[in-house]
Amino acid sequence: MSMKDYLNKQARAASARAFPDFRTPESFENWRKDRQRKFHEMLGIDVYLAQERTPLHISITGSVDCGTHRIDKLHFQSLPGLYVTANLYVPNDLKEPAPAVLYLCGHHAGQKVHYQTHARRFAQERFVTLVLDTIQLGEVRGVHHGTYSQGRFDWVSAGYTPAAAEVWNAIRGLDVLCGLDEVDPDRLGVTGHSGGGSISWWLTCADDRIKAMASSSGTGDLASHLYDRTLDYHCDCNFPNNPDDWSSAESYALAAPRPVLIVAPDRDRVFRIQSVRHVYEKLKELYRKLGYEDKLDLCAFRAQHMYTPESRKRILSWFLTHLAGKDATPESVEDVDGITLKEVQLLVYNGKPPAQNRVTTVQEWFIPSPPLPDIRTASQFEAVKATILAGLRQECLNTIPAKPSEAPWSIEQEYWAGTSFARKFSFSPEAEWRLMGELRGLLNENGNHPLAVCIRQSRHRKEEDAYDVLNGLKEDWLRGRIDVRGTGDSAWGAELNWHIRRAAALTGRTVTEMRIGDMLCGLDILRRMPEVDSHRVLLAGQGESAIVAMLVALLVGGIETLVLEDIPSSFRHTDDHAQLGEGFEIINILRHADIPQLAALLWPAKIVVIGKKWDRFEWTEQVYASLGQPGQILHYGNREEYMRD
């Protein structure tokens, strides 16, 4: 099976998964609340929700009188220094608190200026409306296109997606609305188009203050994003971090049973109408079982990725019905009047943004990384190791089979080359895969040889190339090789790397995680061979495969020596944009530890580092020094220096 087919299969399986059989509305609500807490964790906003919310520091820089309403030009801080620019539309002469709509801009360079006619129309119907700029295309331009076009797959390792920051900004936008005397906080809605339609979903899933939602051109199915490759055209903000492989419908279900309108043009390139209908039908059945079938609707119409008068009127009537309490139909309301203000009238900063604006760096700090732990004693070491390993298994490496020894395998060939023995074998870490491995070396009468295992890489044209990292070992060591996924017979072309890395993350796994699982299976097979001393094992890797070797050693335990050549300094390192490789990202790993911490947890194994020292290498050495023998760390500037020693 190819990796593309494998990922398609995983996504289809998730999309086909049925909801639990909820016997009562209470059982659904308990499920929804548990999943919502997990959703907050997936996004990484749980940290901020658990804290006292920071002051918004709302600043109004100007107002525009539009006759039926005024527009306040304002900015606020969703977190200290994370500025959000917005336009607030307030109807004139409100006699009592009114319903409010949060409008989330899509991927249009004009942002709140481009979408002003929608907010204007809501204000004309007596909705207080707050239009938020995005981080990517606001008056100060931040970054959305990390994995999409900038090679920032370290975002995967951090568990970061701009969906998280945009949802948080939207949550604080609700805080702004709830603080207004003109707003009824029990009648809040959200809508938006394209990326704004996607964030409308995620906000509704995250915040129960939303009482009605309409998503325009922002609804899709995970299986379609992979199989139809619509993923390739989507910004990162369309997808929350998804370590548990939730389907789209399983995520969207967190909005139930509140009123939800799905607006979907049937000629949309990036949200196939068939996938929208699939999601709608799954949610419709859920709403029906809960007794709220009339709270979910689909507005499908003939158009490309855009609004039409039909869709705009449908959205307006939806909010009039479910927020304003009016018996409104699409035919009974008017479309936008087309009147627009000039950009200069709606811009907030007037060309002078705050000096301490952290919008451009939010991707670096929004998901906090833990500090380097204090490890000076054996008890501290064991406690830190247990905590980090538990976190890795639960949130980062949870698709790896718990029992690698159960993987089926068979000997394919045994042969002699002079005095050297070789045994080739195949194994299946998952049912869809057949991978190859090998044991080779000189055998003596005593048996029980120490074993050195290397990891094949996609650049290794021949099997023998993989063994170069083991040069310099004594002849009495047996050599093992594992052809992990993406190498040897399971290799894919470099042109697929970008798609596969993004697609894998959407299904709750990464190529590196799969390769760790492959190595665990292959290593278990090698250690159980009669010629091998299972207590004397060396693992070696170079570059990306050094990461695999390190994590395998940490998970399996009992590894005597690690040879790590040209290992990256951090999971935060970005790719060479011109030569996008297979990467070494692991979902959420930076929420628990970076490479220096993981290396320190290998004690008492001997670590041989070849090449440049990584960042905070000294800290890892200090931990090893504190814990003492038998652990040691040796460093060599290059392979030749290592082989001479």
pLDDT higher for 581 or 287? 287
Read off the pLDDT of each residue in 464-488 and give the average, rounded to a whole number: 93
Cβ burial 422-454 (10 Å sphere, 16+ → b, else e): ebbbbbebbeebbbbbbbbbeeeeeeebbbbbb
> What percent of the chain is modeled with pLDDT above 70?
99
pLDDT tens figures, 611-637: 998 888 999 999 999 999 999 999 999
Is residue 321 classed as helix, strand or coil in its secondary structure?
helix
Residue ranges matching CATH 3.40.50.1820 in the chain: 3-365, 378-490+508-569+586-644
pLDDT for the residue numbered 580: 63
| 369, pLDDT greater than 70 | yes
Q: Which pLDDT band holds residue 402 (cuts at 50, 70, 90)?
A: confident
pLDDT tens figures, 147-182: 999 999 999 999 999 999 999 999 999 999 999 999
pLDDT for the residue numbered 148: 94
| 645, pLDDT greater than 80 | no
pLDDT for the residue numbered 407: 87
Return the closest-CA partner of residue 241 out of 44, 33, 500, 511. Answer: 44
Can you tell me the distance from the alpha carbon of 502 to that of 509, in angstroms, rounded to the nearest whole number? 10
Read off the pLDDT of each residue in 19-48 and give the average, rounded to a whole number: 96
Can you tell me the distance from the alpha carbon of 327 to that of 309, in angstroms, rounded to the nearest whole number? 20
Read off the pLDDT of each residue in 598-606 and give the average, rounded to a whole number: 97
Tell me the average pLDDT of the chain: 95
Secondary-structure class of domain 378-490+508-569+586-644 per CATH? alpha beta
Read off the pLDDT of each residue in 504-528 and give the average, rounded to a whole number: 97
| 444, pLDDT greater than 70 | yes
Q: What is the pTM of this model?
A: 0.96
pLDDT for the residue numbered 166: 98
pLDDT for the residue numbered 578: 43
CA–CA distance from 465 to each of 454, 468, 471, 518, 553 (Å)?
Answer: 10, 6, 11, 19, 22
Return the closest-CA partner of residue 233 out of 271, 198, 265, 196. Answer: 271
Can you tell me the distance from the alpha carbon of 455 to that of 231, in angstroms, rounded to the nearest whole number? 30
The structural architecture, per CATH, of the domain 3-365 is 3-Layer(aba) Sandwich (3.40)
User: In the structure encoding, which two tokens stand for residue 91, read together?
Assistant: 């109807």
| 447, pLDDT greater than 90 | no
| 322, pLDDT greater than 50 | yes
pLDDT tens figures, 200-255: 999 999 999 999 999 999 999 999 999 999 999 999 999 999 999 999 999 999 99
